[in-house]
């Protein structure tokens, strides 16, 4: 099977899953337990994605391969925790949590976690990232002196 999802796409899908888990239980009226579990997993997915070395990272400190290794136990927990807590009792809640598990599993299975996420110097020049970095350093210099 071809692994067609690159790091940027994987991160975008993880951010979407995070938003779905944070907002879905409240919008669907799934109850307090489902809302708490959705908040737990939504926050986890959002935070780990924001910290993973991808083009969409806020602060890239987790290697992309490590992010991939974290996916397996997280998806397992997404299947077990709602069931153990009784949050899946309602049919709508069961469908919601199984859908989130399916999205996470599909994203995991179709992602190549062995690709490099670092841009070459030529890619950085084409994107104008060197200019942005210089401008941001100049703008932040007064703040860094304090």
Residues 107 and 129 in one domain: no
Mean per-residue pLDDT, 16-28: 97
Task: Name the nearest CA neighbour of 52 among 127, 119, 117.
Answer: 117
Per-residue pLDDT, 3: 85
CB proximity list for 85: less than 8 A, separation 6 or greater = 33, 37
Per-residue pLDDT reduced to its tens digit, 84-116: 999 999 999 999 999 999 999 999 999 999 876
- Is-contact 81 97, C-beta < 8 A? no
Looking at the domain assignment, is residue 125 inside a domain? yes
The predicted pLDDT at position 107 comes to: 96
Ranges 14-18, 29-33, 77-81, 114-118: which has the least confidence:
114-118
Torsion of the alpha carbons at 126, 129, 134 and 136, rounded to the nearest 10: 150
CB contact at 8 A, 77 and 66: no
- Check residue 121 and give its pLDDT: 47
144 pLDDT tier (thresholds 50, 70, 90)? low
Q: Which residue has the tokens 């670092």?
A: 118
Percent of the chain with pLDDT over 90: 74
Domain co-membership, 31 together with 61 = yes
Q: Is the pTM of this model over 0.75?
A: yes
Query: Domain limits at 133?
Result: 120-146
Question: Does residue 2 sit within a domain?
Answer: no
Q: Is the pLDDT of residue 129 over 90?
A: no
Band of the pLDDT at 124, cuts 50, 70, 90?
A: very low
Give the residue carrying structure tokens 């938003």: 19
- Do the domain assignments include residue 1? no
């Amino acid at each position: 099977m071809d692994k067609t999802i690159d790091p940027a796409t994987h991160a975008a899908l993880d951010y979407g899953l995070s938003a779905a888990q944070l907002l879905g239980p409240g919008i669907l009226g799934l109850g307090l337990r489902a809302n708490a579990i959705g908040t737990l997993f939504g926050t986890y997915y959002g935070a780990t994605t924001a910290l993973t070395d991808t083009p969409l990272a806020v602060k890239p400190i987790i290697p992309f391969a490590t992010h991939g290794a974290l996916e397996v136990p997280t998806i397992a927990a997404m299947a077990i925790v709602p069931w153990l807590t009784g949050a899946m009792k309602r049919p709508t809640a069961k469908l919601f949590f199984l859908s989130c598990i399916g999205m996470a599993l599909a994203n995991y299975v179709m992602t190549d976690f062995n690709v490099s996420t670092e841009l070459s110097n030529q890619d950085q020049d084409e994107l104008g990232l060197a200019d942005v970095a210089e401008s941001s350093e100049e703008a932040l210099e007064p703040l860094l002196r304090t």
